[in-house]
Amino acid sequence: MFWWWFLWLLGAFILGIILGWLLSKLFSNTTTDKTDYSSKIRSLEAELAGCKKEKNVLAASAAATTASLAATVVPKKADDSVKDDLTKIEGIGPKIKGLLNDDGIWSFKQLSESTVEKLQKILDDAGPRYRVHNPKTWADQAKLAAQDKWDELKKWQNELKGGL
């Protein structure tokens, strides 16, 4: 009776070996797949390392560019940030105001510090329609406006004719 159990166990053992052998042959591609995935992982890791190097180079370049730009930027004076209505000056209309703005003159203070020659050059460069204007009193008017002496300015402007 004991030998029947032994035969059954031996048959099951042999059947297990055969089944294991068949399954290993059937799924033998797993080893090659594993090799393929390992090589793909290595190539992706190499690509990632290259991207990290490139990122570090670009970050250093951006930092250098930012530093050089920060060094070249000249901060504006607080007075330059004021934009006054230059048309309040006798002889300056909207178009001449635009010409002065294009040349960097935005405030009464900047206009008061400008020379007559500089103002005349701005007008001459703008063409024959603007050459007829005379900026002789503009700086003095702008000085009064910058000092908030509006009553004096109005009184003087009433005496002027076209900025003269």
Residue ranges per structural domain of the chain: 2-72, 79-159
Is residue 161's pLDDT more than 60?
Answer: yes
Average pLDDT (54-67) is 91
Residue with tokens 């995935």: 37
* 161 CB-side CA count, 13 A: 0
* CA dist., res. 57 & res. 44, Å (int): 20
Model pTM score: 0.49
**For residues 111 and 153, what is the distance between their CA atoms, to the nearest angstrom?**
15
Residue that has been written with the tokens 């002027």 in this structure: 160
Query: What are the pLDDT digits (tens) for 7-37?
Result: 999 999 999 999 999 988 887 766 666 778 8
CB 163 within 8 A of CB 89: yes
Answer yes or no: are the C-beta atoms of 134 and 117 closer than 8 Å: no
